[in-house]
A and B are shown apart, each in its own frame.
Chain A
Amino acid sequence: MARVPLVLGPLKLDGAVVKRSGFRWLCVDGQMCRAGQPVAYCNVGLMNVRQPGKAFEAFSQEKADFQAVLVLQADGVINISPESSRGGFLDQLAQYNIWEPSFEIGMLTCKDEALPAGAMPTKLVFGAGRRVTEVAEIRAGLLTGWHNRSRAWVAEGDRVERTLLSLGACETTAMIRGQHFSYMEMLNASHVPMQVVLIPDDLLIPCARVVLEQVRRTPEQFAEIAADMTRSLSNGSQPLSPNDWLLAGVFLGALQRSPLTEPNHVLTRHSIQQVTGPDAVVMSLVAEPIRIFRHRRLGYSLCFQEYRFRAMGQAMIEWLNTHFESVMRDAEAIRRDYCELIEEMQKRSNVHFLILNVMSSVGTENVVNYAAFDLPMGETLRSVHCKEKNLMLHDLASEHDISIIDIDAITADWGERKYLPDGVHLSGPVQDEARAEILRCIDERIATTSRKVAVR
């Protein structure tokens, strides 16, 4: 057996000193751990040496929730060094230790042949969360917090090869983040260094129409929306509750951003890299409800889960009722929104769209006669509605180069009642298959693109 020190390894960044907190362990001393398992993490701080006192620009929006994770490269038993952690706040605050490549946080005992000669025993992964508000301080664990964007990437190699953006709905969020919300399943399954970015759906659902408007919205248009929202909410007949202020702020913040076009930076062991946009984006039919809301004067759209009405006070409901109209969308309207979004993005980048379809069978149904359901049946029966939406994706795929992730078929294989009981929230095995399918589609797409380039 070999005993391999768990050293931090190199991490260099021009213009910054990399600092860190103590390590929080995800295993206990003496535990047998597996390759691909995250075993310890720390918070990371970047001290700007060119402009002392200023946040390092590349990660300034994520400086409070920026973490480094050590992921095992081989099976083995972990022994934890007492030097790795001083506990309490010192394992959360990133200013007290400098990242020293030779620092040992513990020891891995593994088979002699488990690691190639000279290989690091751990893989370095970074995670970063951009808080909805800086006061949402939730340092409870790995990538915890209320974030309007969270992401993770593998920091080994010279560069991150791919960026996958997932626009959230319940099922995509849970699938992309994985069992422990750390993105590890997705990162481990990719055979190239990858970044995974997630925009959650709290509160604005990233349906195609909303995302398209985000892409096209100018700063001037946003300023008009912000001024109108401030004026309208202040002039309503009902006083705004603290919760309504919060919800209005979340709406406004989401309307200001554009997930598909906002750049980010990734830090690897040897360099920093700007990512101008995603290579692939995952969307979902679950995020395409029948009804969205359109502002009567300014024309922008809001899309949110209708159960959110319960969280709204009278002032917020009055604002929506007075200033927005309901827009009902059938499958064809959703297809047109997707088309417009894809065509808009084709002008800007080479991003590939992957769209999850929906489970279209309802296990509890036992319809033997369709006379009881009004025409058009797609507006009455959920199963028919879902089938129409799924078929629409095939029409879309005939017009545009998209990948369909067939949740309907995957769930049918596993069994709907046990593995997707409510039609939305995926079980672990279904998530595993969907993740594998997403990566397979991206590989296939990138290989096809490379072949086309080579032929030219």
Chain B
Amino acid sequence: MILSLSLPKIMSEMTTAQIQIIYPAEGSLIISGGKLLDLQVDLSLAVTHDCPPLSFHRIALREKVWLRRILAPLDEELGIGTQLALFSTQADESLDVAPERELRTSIASILKQVDPWS
């Protein structure tokens, strides 16, 4: 079964997010509870008040799947609903079919220190 992951709307003011890191490589098996990627949401892009503009979120998996293809680039603003990656429940399933459903994930707000000098 092919599954997809689209960029979720994590908070009400959010319009975009950047993927900062994707932990597994394409072709990896990820078990339930495994970490998939970290996102940065910058609210200053959507609202005029700038405090606190940055928040960070981790998407982890709630089911065992193979990461088959990463579709979205790192460090670029992506709109809500952008397809981020494709997964499969078997290692060698063809990706030529439409995803059957969205991947089951959990999302948590994480702490991350941005390098202030970059």
Interface residues of A (CB under 8 A from B): 170, 290-291, 305-307, 309-310, 317, 320-321, 326, 328, 362, 364-373, 379-383, 385, 417, 421-422, 424-425
Give Cα A383–Cα B53 distance, bound, in whole angstroms. 18
Query: What residues of B have a CB within 8 angstroms of the CB of A291 in the complex?
Result: 113
Looking at the assembled complex, report how far the CB atom of A371 sits from the nearest CB atom of chain B, in whole angstroms: 4
Given A307-B51, A309-B116, is A365 in contact with B33 using a C-beta cutoff of 8 Å? Answer: no
Query: What residues of B have a CB within 8 angstroms of the CB of A371 in the complex?
Result: 33-35, 60
Select B10's contact among A307, A364, A424, A425, beta carbons within 8 Å.
Answer: A364
Q: Once the chains bind, are A362 and B117 in contact (CB under 8 Å)?
A: no
Select B106's contact among A326, A368, A422, beta carbons within 8 Å.
Answer: A368
Q: Once the chains bind, are A372 and B109 in contact (CB under 8 Å)?
A: no
The B interface is mostly helix, strand or loop, or mixed, namely: loop
| Residue from the set A366, A372, A380 with the largest chain B CB neighbour count within 10 Å | A372
Looking at the assembled complex, report how far the CB atom of B35 sits from the nearest CB atom of chain A, in whole angstroms: 4
Please provide the chain B residues from 65 to 118 with a CB less than 8 Å away from any CB of chain A in the complex.
106-111, 113-114, 116-117
Q: Once the chains bind, are B60 and A383 in contact (CB under 8 Å)?
A: no
Q: Once the chains bind, are A364 and B107 in contact (CB under 8 Å)?
A: yes
Select A367's contact among B32, B43, B51, B60, beta carbons within 8 Å.
Answer: B60
Given A362-B109, A381-B110, is A368 in contact with B62 using a C-beta cutoff of 8 Å? Answer: yes
Give Cα A307–Cα B47 distance, bound, in whole angstroms. 14
Interface size class of B (residues with CB under 8 A): 20 to 34
Residue of B nearest to A422 (CB): B52
Give Cα A108–Cα B12 distance, bound, in whole angstroms. 46
Give Cα A407–Cα B110 distance, bound, in whole angstroms. 20
Q: Once the chains bind, are A306 and B109 in contact (CB under 8 Å)?
A: no
Looking at the assembled complex, report how far the CB atom of B34 sits from the nearest CB atom of chain A, in whole angstroms: 6
Closest 3 CB pairs between A and B? A369-B33, A372-B60, A372-B35
Pairs across A and B, CB under 8 Å, 23 listed: A310-B50, A320-B116, A328-B113, A362-B108, A362-B109, A364-B10, A364-B11, A364-B109, A365-B109, A367-B106, A369-B60, A369-B62, A370-B33, A372-B60, A372-B108, A373-B35, A379-B111, A380-B111, A381-B108, A381-B110, A382-B111, A383-B108, A424-B51
The A interface is mostly helix, strand or loop, or mixed, namely: mixed
Q: Once the chains bind, are A369 and B109 in contact (CB under 8 Å)?
A: no
Query: What residues of B have a CB within 8 angstroms of the CB of A385 in the complex?
Result: 111
Q: Once the chains bind, are B109 and A373 in contact (CB under 8 Å)?
A: no
Give Cα A364–Cα B50 distance, bound, in whole angstroms. 21
Given A369-B60, A373-B35, is A307 in contact with B54 using a C-beta cutoff of 8 Å? Answer: yes
Q: Once the chains bind, are A305 and B11 in contact (CB under 8 Å)?
A: no
Give Cα A291–Cα B115 distance, bound, in whole angstroms. 11
| Residue from the set B13, B34, B61, B109 with the largest chain A CB neighbour count within 10 Å | B109
Residue of B nearest to A370 (CB): B33
Q: Once the chains bind, are B110 and A380 in contact (CB under 8 Å)?
A: yes
Select B110's contact among A307, A382, A417, beta carbons within 8 Å.
Answer: A382
Residue of A nearest to B50 (CB): A307
Q: Once the chains bind, are B116 and A306 in contact (CB under 8 Å)?
A: yes
Q: Once the chains bind, are A369 and B11 in contact (CB under 8 Å)?
A: no
Looking at the assembled complex, report how far the CB atom of B118 sits from the nearest CB atom of chain A, in whole angstroms: 10
Select B107's contact among A320, A365, A417, beta carbons within 8 Å.
Answer: A365
Looking at the assembled complex, report how far the CB atom of A204 sits from the nearest CB atom of chain B, in whole angstroms: 15
Query: What residues of B have a CB within 8 angstroms of the CB of A373 in the complex?
Result: 35, 58, 60, 108, 110
Given A290-B111, A365-B108, A381-B111, is A421 in contact with B62 using a C-beta cutoff of 8 Å? Answer: no
Q: Once the chains bind, are A422 and B11 in contact (CB under 8 Å)?
A: yes
Cβ of B28 under 8 Å from chain A: no
CB 8 Å contact bits of B12-29 with A (1 = contact, 0 = none): 110000000000000000
Residue of B nearest to A328 (CB): B113
Q: Once the chains bind, are B107 and A366 in contact (CB under 8 Å)?
A: yes
Looking at the assembled complex, report how far the CB atom of B57 sits from the nearest CB atom of chain A, in whole angstroms: 8
Query: What residues of B have a CB within 8 angstroms of the CB of A326 in the complex?
Result: 116
Give Cα A371–Cα B114 distance, bound, in whole angstroms. 23
Residue of A nearest to B53 (CB): A307
